[in-house]
Structure 1
Amino acid sequence: MNVLLALPVVLPLLGAGVSILVGRSRLAQRVVGISVLTAVTGVAVAILVHVDRHGPTSTQSGGWPAPLGITLVADRLSALLLVVASSMLLAVLLYAIGQPGAERSHVGFQSVYLVLAGGVAAAFLTGDLFNLFVAIEMMLTASYVLITLGGRLEQVRSGMTYIVISLLASMLFLAALAFTYSATGTVNLAELARRVPELPFGTQAALAALFLVVFGIKAALFPLYFWLPDSYPTAPSPVTAIFAGLLTKVGVYAIIRTQTLLFPHVLPAGLFYGIAAATMVVGVLGAIAQDDVKRILSFNIVGQIGYMVIGIGLFDVAGLAAVILSLVHHIVVKTSLFLTEGLIELHGGSSRLNRLGGMVRTAPGIAVLFGVAALALAGIPPLSGFVAKFSLMAAITAQHEWWVLAVAILVSLLTLFSMVKIWVGVFWAPAGPAGGEGPAEVEVAPGPSAPLLMLAPTAVLVAGTVAIGVFGGPLYELAGRAATDLLHPQPYLDAVAGR
């Protein structure tokens, strides 16, 4: 098992190198990418099964003992997210291969995509803050390339906003690491968990707030969210899908890990509730105001992140279990929604609502895929969003935070409204003129049929949202065990320390 822990990081990086070497053969690149991500998914499942049965496990890279070496560690939370992330990476790669676009037009797509996969895995498995920084930077560096693939003016301009904000967040992260090391003499998570409580409370609060800002930028929390709705819609659909599903969730994971392990109860719960409520409201109102499918879905990413922050503020088993379940649900449903958006754009020739319509007749399969994923995002039973939101609202009710509950219910209803807006504009309303404004009754010839490699991964992910709802009980129990690990972290700390 110690050997397996390194594979989710090492295999994608080796695969990226091989992909460069065989760059003259697109078929060879695809075989490498699919093989690597399939293997990583299998390894992730094995790690999850092991840690669920036997507790956290770790390995010290190069044989250097902690806290000197690079520690890779897995517990139920990191292993579960690794399984979901690797599954999404594989599904989106298959979709990208099938789509006439980024993967076919750019020989470097496969290698950069595998570097992104290695960075995501390293972020979930690292046992110290500096290597978390390295993992996030590896992930972001790959994302800088992916978000500007194509080189269109609008894409480069929005990509530059994303890059500048990410670099500023990285500078803040480095400053936070420097302050932490200066105050404690270590960046190893096990050592930090022991030394941070010995610091003056003001120092603890300052460090906790600084890390919340750093990871809040990456998670797109209010008021640090403004870069996301402008950046994501301009990227190719597979790139936007994997960004929407994974990148902000790495920021949420980092918030969970640092706030529960290093700074428990340092920041007041009211701060998390306030940030969460503002994030939810701004996100969903921004979604309602848009007239483009990609922009509506991008603003909804922001709104849904707020639900997870509420659970962090609750800081009990029920609240954290709801956060973990929400992470799993949101990764799957947002990835599937953006993949469906790519199908809409391929069939209708646009993502603007006033240039689409009538697709319930011309593309009923796409309509079904979008309808199921949209209802899951809004939290309609028995889909995944209902299980996640019901568990969160039950946890809120148990702590009698009634105003937070009211905001959560209101935002859920408004999210449903934003999904209905897409449904009416894209599928139900009469078709508008392709490529421009005009009367709504103009008939538009349907676009090309979607390739099987685009439809199949999308359908599998949409089926996954149904499966999460149907099997919500066992998944919630696993999330509960992971939440208990977060509140009682001694086994995790022993694993990080190599004991």
Structure 2
Amino acid sequence: MAASSDSPAVDLAAAMITTPASLQDWLVILPLIVPLTAGAILVMIRHSTHWHRPVAGLALAALFLLDLLLLRRVLTEGPVVMMMGSWLPPFGIAFTADLLGTTLATVSAFVALVATATAPPSINTAERRYGFYPFLMLLMTGVTGAFLTGDLFNLYVWFEVLLISSFGLLVLGSEKSQIDGTVKYGLLNLVATTLFLVATGLLYGALGTLNMADIAIKARAAGPDVPLGALAALFMLAFATKAAAFPVNFWLPASYHTPTATVSALFAGLLTKVGVYALLKTLVLLLGPSSAYLGTLLAFVAGATMLAGALGALASSDFRRMLGWLVVSGIGNMLVGAALVTGGALTGSIFYAVHSMLVMSALYLASGVVEARAATADLRKLGGFYAASPLFSLVVLALLFAVAGLPPFSGFWPKAILVDAAFAAGAPWLGAAVLVSGFLITLAVGRAWLYIFWRGGPEGTPDGTVALAGVRSFESNAQAVALIGPVVVLAVAVAVIGLLPAGLGAIAEGAASGLLDPAGFTARVLGVTP
């Protein structure tokens, strides 16, 4: 039956946004469109691998520029929101750029742009043919989407995207060690993803929404019959596994050393930070008071993760395996904010996350230089690098000082903030864990530097001599620049943050305030306050 001409008009304004989005609002999703489009183009030209690097490089440069512009807008105006399909929130899919997510997305793009400059000498033709650059673009799409989404289910979707791409990057080369590492990496992460999906479904059943801002309001208004505490524990287990926190951390040092140095650098800089970000966002911003009872458990997990990583690094005889344990120890520092839920602790955790993204990526790239010149990462078979490359040796020493938290490099400031926050919150033992783990890491990295760079040669080299036979020269100046250049660029960033910490400290403090007080976030998304 045809509708009568006098049928009442439908008021779309009650459910949909009727005004067109401004051009600057598209800035929220352009960081997703660029790598996704570049990845599709790379698949279409998969037989012309000589075009892959310039296309990917251009896309990463555009991604970094867009993230910088978005960060500038967030710093000026606060959270920026764009609703897909023009649905009014909380309906439809929301993309929400807040200070925490935008900062991490910007640093991720910078790390990826710098790290992939090493790809020509470290990624061979076969790996390019099998899709290194398309997988890289898909990885950046997933990482960026996770940092910018305002919908909990879409956070799960972006986790799936980055996991699929990381599986592909990890197994490229098809070597036995890579396949073994992929199995270990994949099994634990798939379990964590399943837990995340289950928790998301249960939360939707309890609150009837997946919009993050709406969850933040409804969770604080929910009665005691809603099992938000149990759901918070489930989210904590899922994200702690993805972040490689104790005791579910063993997959990381068993897998991160197996791919090429470029892939290891990307993984160390980006993937675990997405897990930490999701944990902070869910337990602090969304569930808030419902997860407060987990504070003591999280504090124990944070301290145990720091010490387990430091002891693992101290026991390692392989440079790249040692770096994996250093990543684990750093995760413990980032979990202090979620455990104490104070402004100082969250500021220190966010500051440390940015520092870790830069310094761990740089160290993995440096390990690639060592392996390219010595064909091994075994500390017992290394030596003589200082005599061969004094400048490179000093750059690596600065990075190792930074990861140990020694002044004046970037790792000192977040550790100082975390120790102060732990003592102020009545948890001096947690502050002591930060200090003890830092001391043990200093021993571990000092030992590694002495073995690789300072001593004359591998074990068995007579004292007072320098054995450079195992340290091969670069094939060309171009190869030297491609391998060492990215390490130097990231080391400069680490030094600048250490010498001028106020800027990053202010951003971290603002991001921490946004987590503790969701009023600005919910007001921007929904137009109401909790």
Give the alignment's TM-score, normalised by structure 1.
Answer: 0.96
Larger Rg: 2
- Counterpart-to-counterpart distance in 2, 1:199 and 1:127: 24
Corresponding position of 1:483: 512
Corresponding position of 2:252: 228
Corresponding position of 2:6: none
- Counterpart-to-counterpart distance in 1, 2:251 and 2:154: 25
One-letter amino acid of the structure 2 residue matched with residue 458 of structure 1 = V
Which region of structure 1 is more displaced relative to structure 2, 78-87 or 264-273?
264-273
One-letter amino acid of the structure 2 residue matched with residue 476 of structure 1 = G
- Percent of residue pairs bearing the same amino acid type: 33
Corresponding position of 1:206: 230
Which region of structure 1 is more displaced relative to structure 2, 235-244 or 474-483?
474-483
Contact 2:215 2:287 (8 Å CA) reproduced: no
Corresponding position of 1:66: 89
Alignment of 1:239-278 (within 5 A): 239-265=263-289, 266-268=291-293, 269-278=295-304
Gaps of 5+ in 1: 433-437
Contact 1:73 1:495 (8 Å CA) reproduced: no
- 1:134 and 2:157 correspond: yes
Per-residue CA shift, 1:111-169, capped at 9, x if unaligned?
11000000000000000110000001100000000011110112101211111111111
Give 1:387 shift: 1.3
- 1:329 and 2:355 correspond: yes
Query: Cα distance 1:331–1:102, how it changes in 2: closer, same or farther (>3 A)?
Result: farther
Query: Cα distance 1:498–1:355, how it changes in 2: closer, same or farther (>3 A)?
Result: farther
Contact 1:343 1:366 (8 Å CA) reproduced: no
- 1:349 and 2:375 correspond: yes
Which region of structure 1 is more displaced relative to structure 2, 469-478 or 283-292?
469-478
Contact 1:219 1:251 (8 Å CA) reproduced: yes
Q: Secondary structure at the match of 1:231?
A: coil
Q: Secondary structure at the match of 1:229?
A: coil
Q: Secondary structure at the match of 1:466?
A: helix
Higher relative contact order (CA 8 A, sep 6+): 1
- 1:494 and 2:515 correspond: no
Contact 2:418 2:431 (8 Å CA) reproduced: no
Alignment of 1:455-494 (within 5 A): 455-494=484-523
Give 1:24 shift: 2.7
- 1:427 and 2:453 correspond: yes
- Counterpart-to-counterpart distance in 2, 1:489 and 1:201: 23
Contact 2:56 2:133 (8 Å CA) reproduced: yes
Gaps of 5+ in 2: 1-23
- 1:192 and 2:215 correspond: yes
Alignment of 1:295-310 (within 5 A): 295-310=321-336
Give 1:498 shift: 6.7
- 1:439 and 2:460 correspond: yes
Q: CA RMSD in A?
A: 1.6
1:219 paired residue among 224, 243, 247:
243
| Number of residue pairs the alignment of both structures matches | 494
Q: Secondary structure at the match of 1:301?
A: helix
Give 1:317 shift: 1.4
Q: Secondary structure at the match of 2:47?
A: coil
Corresponding position of 2:406: 380
Corresponding position of 1:448: 473
Give 1:105 shift: 4.7
Corresponding position of 1:435: none
Per-residue CA shift, 1:235-284, capped at 9, x if unaligned?
11111111011100000000110111122243332222111111111111
- Counterpart-to-counterpart distance in 1, 2:168 and 2:61: 23
Contact 1:384 1:465 (8 Å CA) reproduced: yes
Corresponding position of 2:35: 12
1:37 paired residue among 30, 55, 60:
60
Give the alignment's TM-score, normalised by structure 2.
Answer: 0.90
Give 1:329 shift: 0.4
Corresponding position of 2:147: 124
1:389 paired residue among 387, 398, 415:
415
Q: Secondary structure at the match of 1:59?
A: strand
Per-residue CA shift, 1:382-410, capped at 9, x if unaligned?
11001111121122222232111111111
